[in-house]
Amino acid sequence: TLRTMLAAQRREDGNSRSILVTGPSPSEGKTTTAINLASSLALAGNRVILIEADFRRPTVGEALGVRARVGIGDVLLGNVALEDALVLAPPFGDNLCALLVDRADDWLAEVLSLPAAEALLEDAKRLADYVVLDSPPLTQVIDAMPLARQVDDVVLVTRLGSSNLTQLAHLGDLLEQNSIRPAGFVVVGGPAPEESSYYREAQRR
């Protein structure tokens, strides 16, 4: 459902789309959402680059079962080209590549505020149909705010029974101050949707 909603805009203009996934607090499911969104887009036949922009708690590589020889920090510092830092994420063939944080480093996170970050995003959009960015929670650290201002869509992930409404309101204020209007919310932790009568009837035939 999320893939379909976000893909609608690209069908209208035909351009590559960049999507930043964030939330008000850690451990709310933003990384899982970013990985699942990127995987779903890749399974639909799109070329996707998943960028890990959380330098403090990098977990994308472990989740995908891949490791990076060089990472996003080297690309931002100009030590290596984006194409040389991408790693393929099986089992998606050539459709899904990841740009990972190869080592946690608070100092490197500050590089996201440099013009190199904007150039990285443009390079990624040139290579892919979709660029999905896993951002740190912007209420905790604002390293990725420059990227949030550059992307086409910002998606906020919240978890039922866990997300703090004060933190969520603070995130809303931050986004408004930076003239960012989120594309929408992903709510994690809700009950599984019941199978509709439409599908039950189809299965009986």
Amino acid 44: pLDDT? 92
Which position has the token pair 């989740």? 63
Weakest-pLDDT range from 40-54, 101-115, 128-142, 145-159: 101-115
Task: Determine the Cα angle at 38 with ends 144 and 4, to 5°.
Answer: 110
Torsion sign, CA atoms 157, 162, 165, 169: negative
Amino acid 39: pLDDT? 95
| C-alpha distances in Å from residue 99, one per residue of 78, 87, 132, 140, 196 | 14, 7, 10, 22, 39
pLDDT per residue as tens digits for the range 51-98? 998 888 889 999 999 998 899 988 988 899 999 999 999 888 899 999
Peptide bond into 182 cis (omega under 30): no
| C-alpha distances in Å from residue 94, one per residue of 49, 181, 187 | 10, 32, 30
Q: Are 153 and 22 in contact (CB under 8 A)?
A: no
Amino acid 192: pLDDT? 67
Give the number of other CB atoms < 10 A from CB of residue 178. Answer: 14
Which position has the token pair 């609608």? 8
Q: Are 139 and 174 in contact (CB under 8 A)?
A: yes
- Which of the four pLDDT bands, split at 50, 70 and 90, describes residue 201? low
Our separate counts of H helices and E strands in the chain read 10, 7
Percent over 70 (pLDDT), the chain: 89
- Which of the four pLDDT bands, split at 50, 70 and 90, describes residue 145? confident
Taking all residues of the chain, what is their mean pLDDT, rounded to a whole number?
86
Pull the structure tokens for residue 24.
């008000």
Mean pLDDT of 19-44: 92
Amino acid 167: pLDDT? 86
Weakest-pLDDT range from 20-24, 141-145, 174-178, 179-183: 141-145
Mean pLDDT of 120-139: 93
